[in-house]
Amino acid sequence: MEFPKETPYLRRVRIFKQTLMFLASSWGYLSGGMSLTWPNVLASDILVDNSTLFGTQLSLSDSQLDMVGSMMFVGSLPGYVAAGWLVRAIGRRRSMMLAAVPGLAGSLSIALALNTEMILVGRFLEGTSYGMMGVAVRPYIVEVADTDIRGSAVVVANILLQIGSISAVSLGIPFKWYQVSFFSCAVHAMYGLLLVPLLPESPTFLAVTNKDEKAKGVLHRLRGTSVDVEGVLSDLKKQNESVGNAASWRVLVRPAVLRQELILFGLFLVSNFSGVEVIKANTSRILQSAGVSLDMEVSTIMVAGVLFCGNFSMMLLLDRAGRRRCLMLSLSLLVVGYCILGAFVFLSTRPTDSLAAPELTVAVEANASVAYYTGAVSTQRTTWDWVPLASLMLAAYGQALGSGPIPWILSSEYFPTSIRSQAMGLCTLIGSLQSFAALQLFSPMQTVLTPAGLYWFYACVGAVGLPYAFLFVRETKGKSVG
């Protein structure tokens, strides 16, 4: 049977409709991005005024501030586990709606916090929401998008994540930390109550759960009249025959599946311990440890803006250059950025008679991060302030170009629909544990390695990631993922 050829105009209209679906399904990532950079707002505010909405006083130690950043990733662990089952049992759409519930509760807990414990509980719940969205949203986009735009489509979630990150820090300038959390509440409510209910269910999920008629209806809307929907449906079922309509988690230890999981575990390890999440949560602290005297909130917004530009660049490149090339370029830029940052911090903390040292006054204590909270780092403005800021921006651009988002993208592309949610849930669970470790170890590693040594450590991990990506990462550009 011959099907009419799709005109360029009809294709543009169809892709535009898909794009609206990508934006609606990814809207919750705005609140996720706000949660990631919100610790910067808190860290800046408590230096000036540590009072809550109700007038109680907060007092946070270094380890507690580390915990504020890392608690979100602790909370994401049950989110990944729960979503791995929910997405398979009740579908992508309903799981996205449910993901907004803990996020709304967590943001309210932070906004109304009376003490540090309420903030940590709120961060945990925000993390649970973030984990659930991570397992539900990307598989949905992968299954809805046309193959030739799938990579760019998945990056939409990262674009909104970075917009949320910039929004949180920008809102932190005129508003207090607890007021910023009210904005996050509004985003969660809009996502769960207004946007996701308007979306159709994933056609591939409908296909593997034997809801063929509904799947055909959605496929007609997504692929147009020029596509053999019966053939697409048949191909989807064949691609999932190798693992069957499996609800059991035992399928995840089959050799072919396990190999892909181990590759992704390693990729998440490289990503997290090359400072990907540390940049987002601890921008202010990194710049303070480097002795930057520029306004911390403005500097943080600049770094967040670079993260957005990196994600936007990746969206343009991913379906042209491919995942592996973007990943290797990303790691290369990250290595250069952290090497320069480490060198600057090392030289700036050497004795002043060093020939190569820039003229900086930086207080060095046993734990360099303490300087951020005590104000011990010199605020004397120098002509060298741009060096650490520019090198951190280069590292941020590098990670946003690939090493941050690509492990997440591949975890939704490496597995067929019938096990995608379980496998992705497991991979992102391991990745989140690694993120928690990287964030929680930020201050201890600064103490042991010194700030310069820590940044060089991130650079070394990124360098190890280059041959790892070349040898083990399987390209998925332009390939059907089932």
pLDDT < 50 stretches in the chain = 352-381
Whether the CB-CB separation of 81 and 139 falls below 8 Å is answered with no
Domain boundaries, the chain: 9-225+251-472
Q: Beta-carbon neighbour count of residue 50 at 10 Å? A: 14
Top-tier CATH class for 9-225+251-472: mainly alpha
Please give the pLDDT value at position 280.
Answer: 75
CA-only gyration radius of the chain, Å: 23
Give residue 264's pLDDT.
95
Q: What is the reported pLDDT for 94?
A: 95
- Give me the pLDDT at residue 368, please: 33
Query: Does this model's pTM top 0.75?
Result: yes
What's the distance, CA 310 to chain centroid? 13
Structure-token pair, residue 154: 């998945």
DSSP code, position 57: B
Tell me what pLDDT residue 268 has.
Answer: 94
- Give the per-residue pLDDT at 293: 65
List of residues 6+ apart from 143 with CB closer than 8 A: 92, 202, 203, 204, 205, 417
What is the pLDDT at residue 373?
35
Phi, psi (5° rounding) for residue 242?
-65, -30
In angstroms, the CA 162 to CA 37 distance is 9
Q: Check residue 236 and give its pLDDT.
A: 77
